[in-house]
Amino acid sequence: MTGTIAVVGASLAGLSAARALRERGHAGRIVVIGDEVHAPYDRPPLSKEFLAGTATIDDLALVSPDDEALDLEWRLGSRAVGLERQSRSVRLADGGEVRADGVVLATGARARRLPGSDGLPGVHVLRTLDDAVALRADLAVSGRLVVIGAGFIGAEVASTARQLGLDVTVVETQPVPLAGPLGGELGAVCAELHADHGTRLLTGTGVAGLVGTDRVEAVELTDGTRLPAEVVVVGIGALPNTEWLAGSGVALGNGVLTDEGCATNVPGVVAVGDCAAAWSVPAGRNVRVEHWTHALEQPATAAATLLGGAPPVRCPVPYFWSDQYGARIQFAGSRREGDVPRLVEGDFADRSFLVVYERDGAPVAVLGMNQPRLFTRWRRQLRSAVPAA
Amino acid sequence: MITVCPTSSLPPGEAIRVPAEEPIAVFNVDGEFFAIDDTCTHQDASLADGWLEGCTIECPLHASCFDLRTGKPSGPPAKVAVRTHQVVVADGMIHVQVSAAAEGAA
Ligand SMILES: Cc1cc2nc3c(=O)[nH]c(=O)nc-3n(C[C@H](O)[C@H](O)[C@H](O)COP(=O)(O)OP(=O)(O)OC[C@H]3O[C@@H](n4cnc5c(N)ncnc54)[C@H](O)[C@@H]3O)c2cc1C
Ligand code: FES
């Protein structure tokens, strides 16, 4: 393909797609459209080092000097509002249009909000750099934080806020945090980090609403309890940014639906990263993955699909990490309900252990806390054990 | 010069982390020893915990690969090379001559 390729979404998946397109020899224009005004930046530190104040905005930059050679046309601060299927042109909010021969959809996801919480000062979500800057400023002048949701982002924000000296309570609807990704037993083990570091964790409790008119004052729980709060962070998951594609003819479900090779139902249009739900052979359904490594690696497959040519050999073992209270949690593999966790190293009480999840006696996933070296070996072993799908 | 350990304590394929102000990682690649800064130039991870393959170490956190001979990363997310240090083996002991601070990182 020698024509123009439009990449919609200027973050990790979009930038990785642009790099992969050049690597595969695309010599035509690449126009990268992003609604944020910022050049691509790294999100994981937003709840960790950047929120803590130990990383700067410059540290977050994803674009390196080498990327100059990619010769990308940036359209930052420019939101795509529609895709014209026949001509493959991307309509922009400012009335402009980018006509393209190929389109990469990389619009990611946004934080889910608590209904009725919009615009109340002191209430935050955390997805963007602007979110992080605003939250950091609020944490700096507040004493009491309530985090709604004990998922990875909620737990990381709680951890960082404790480090900053705030009084922190985390509220979780589920009886056990992180049971989805880690299973009940290990979810409970990881959640013990909160108590270790003086964070209150309330589980099995819903949020009835927020109290406060000019500014948030408390979080009211379904059992009637009022938790006083000067700052509230809502960490209840993310939704794919796909609304702008309504009416475009691109098939949507929980994200942009694609085949294994990232192709949508519209020729010349591929989707990658957090916005995409690719067909997974092992799972037998479309799966939307919201992990950094996936957004970094998957675009190489999309570039092969768009330009033609052999798809890259991809590592079929999903991976993510989380840093909480100084503990590094790493997970690789695909865990299902019913897989049996087995402790192979360390001790839960020491917050240093490695657990292997087994299905029919064979390892399918691995979880490490503060065991990077052993974890790396197991992750490798899983890669060689799992046949490339 | 930092004394690391006897050569016999670092078999081929293994790595050791040497605590220092800037910790150093020493690797044994089929009998040849290499030393680099242990902390990844991307974020906070110890490269001695990574995956060694030939003359390349893969970071255990986000998988950037560094060439042990030059310190250069092969691809994202790391953008900056790690410092490399000279290894001297004498009387069965591994020693590292630490490079000057900013040098080697370019
Ligand atoms: C606080 C935080 C911490 C995280 N920590 C970890 C971690 O520890 N480990 C891990 O594995 N993962 C982590 N993640 C997840 C990881 O950051 C994501 O998986 C990754 O950012 C996905 O990249 P993406 O490019 O697909 O989407 P995004 O990063 O969401 O980028 C999509 C971009 O597209 C833009 N966009 C959306 N709609 C439009 C439109 N219509 N027109 C133009 N542009 C548009 C968005 O504004 C955004 O800039 C974390 C995420 C967050 C928010
Ligand atoms: S910390 Fe090494 S690649 Fe990110």
Q: Which of A209, A236, A263 is the last residue of a domain?
A: A236
Asked if residue A76 and residue A15 are part of one domain, the reply reads yes
Find the CATH number of the domain harbouring A349.
3.30.390.30
Higher pLDDT, B10 or B103: B10
pLDDT at B105 over 80: no
* Residues of chain A below pLDDT 70: 1, 314-315, 385-389
Tokens describing residue A25: 């020899």
Confidence class of residue B106 from pLDDT cuts 50, 70 and 90?
very low
Sequence-distant (6+) residues with CB within 8 A of B59 are B40, B42, B45, B47, B50, B65, B66, B78
Asked if residue A335 and residue A266 are part of one domain, the reply reads no
Candidates A62, A91, A241, A289: which one to mutate for ligand 1, based on the most atoms within 8 Å of Cβ? A241
Residue pair A148/A169 in contact (Cβ under 8 Å)? The answer is no
What residues in B contact A50, CB-CB < 8 Å?
none
Closest Cα to atom 3, ligand 2: which residue? B62
Candidates A7, A11, A139: which one to mutate for ligand 1, based on the most atoms within 8 Å of Cβ? A11
| DSSP label at residue A40 | P
Which runs of consecutive H residues, i.e. helices, occur in chain A? 12-23, 49-52, 57-60, 129-140, 152-163, 179-182, 184-196, 292-307, 372-385
Ligand 2 centre from B63 Cα, in Å? 6
Q: What per-residue confidence (pLDDT) applies to B102?
A: 53
Asked if residue A247 and residue A106 are part of one domain, the reply reads yes
Q: What per-residue confidence (pLDDT) applies to A100?
A: 97
Residue B77 in contact with partner chain A when CB distance is under 8 A: yes
pLDDT at B5 over 60: yes
Q: Which of A199, A219, A236 is the last residue of a domain?
A: A236
Ligand found nearest the CA of A243: 1
Q: What per-residue confidence (pLDDT) applies to A9?
A: 98
In a domain, A316, yes or no: no
pTM: 0.95
Q: What per-residue confidence (pLDDT) applies to A53?
A: 97
Asked if residue A253 and residue A200 are part of one domain, the reply reads no
Structural domains in chain B, CATH included, are: 2-97 (2.102.10.10)
In a domain, A204, yes or no: yes
What residues in B contact A16, CB-CB < 8 Å?
76
Residue pair A272/A299 in contact (Cβ under 8 Å)? The answer is yes
Confidence class of residue B100 from pLDDT cuts 50, 70 and 90?
confident
Sequence-distant (6+) residues with CB within 8 A of B19 are none
Q: How many CB atoms lie within 10 A of CB A209?
A: 13
Asked if residue A351 and residue A336 are part of one domain, the reply reads yes
Sequence-distant (6+) residues with CB within 8 A of A68 are none
In a domain, A171, yes or no: yes
Asked if residue A247 and residue A210 are part of one domain, the reply reads no
Q: For residue range B63-99, list pLDDT tens digits in order.
A: 999 999 999 999 889 999 999 999 999 999 999 999 9
Residue A271 CA to residue A106 CA, distance in Å, equals 6
Asked if residue A294 and residue A257 are part of one domain, the reply reads yes
Asked if residue A263 and residue A117 are part of one domain, the reply reads no
In a domain, A317, yes or no: no
In a domain, A319, yes or no: no
Q: What per-residue confidence (pLDDT) applies to B40?
A: 97
The structural domain count of chain A equals: 3
Q: What is the residue whose two structure tokens read 């992003």?
A: A34
Find the CATH number of the domain harbouring A163.
3.50.50.60
Task: Give percent of chain B above pLDDT 70.
Answer: 94
Q: What per-residue confidence (pLDDT) applies to A310?
A: 85
In a domain, A203, yes or no: yes
| Interface touch B60/A373, C-beta < 8 Å | yes
Asked if residue A25 and residue A85 are part of one domain, the reply reads yes
In a domain, A320, yes or no: no
What residues in B contact A376, CB-CB < 8 Å?
49-51, 58, 60
Q: What is the residue whose two structure tokens read 């990469």?
A: A104
Residue pair A270/A5 in contact (Cβ under 8 Å)? The answer is no
A142: left (phi over 0), alpha (psi -120 to 50) or beta: beta
Count helices and strands (H / E) in chain A.
Answer: 9, 27
Q: Which of A236, A252, A279 is the last residue of a domain?
A: A236
Tell me, rounded to whole angstroms, the distance of Cα A261 from its chain centroid: 20
Asked if residue A45 and residue A64 are part of one domain, the reply reads yes
Burial grade of A309 (CB within 10 A; 0-12, 13-18, 19 or more): exposed
Give the range of the structural domain holding residue A39, as residue numbers without chain letter.
5-110+239-307
Asked if residue A135 and residue A228 are part of one domain, the reply reads yes
Tell me what ipTM this predicted complex has: 0.90
Q: What per-residue confidence (pLDDT) applies to A238?
A: 98
In a domain, A318, yes or no: no
Confidence class of residue B101 from pLDDT cuts 50, 70 and 90?
low
Tokens describing residue A200: 């209150």
Q: How many CB atoms lie within 10 A of CB A337?
A: 8
Asked if residue A333 and residue A300 are part of one domain, the reply reads no
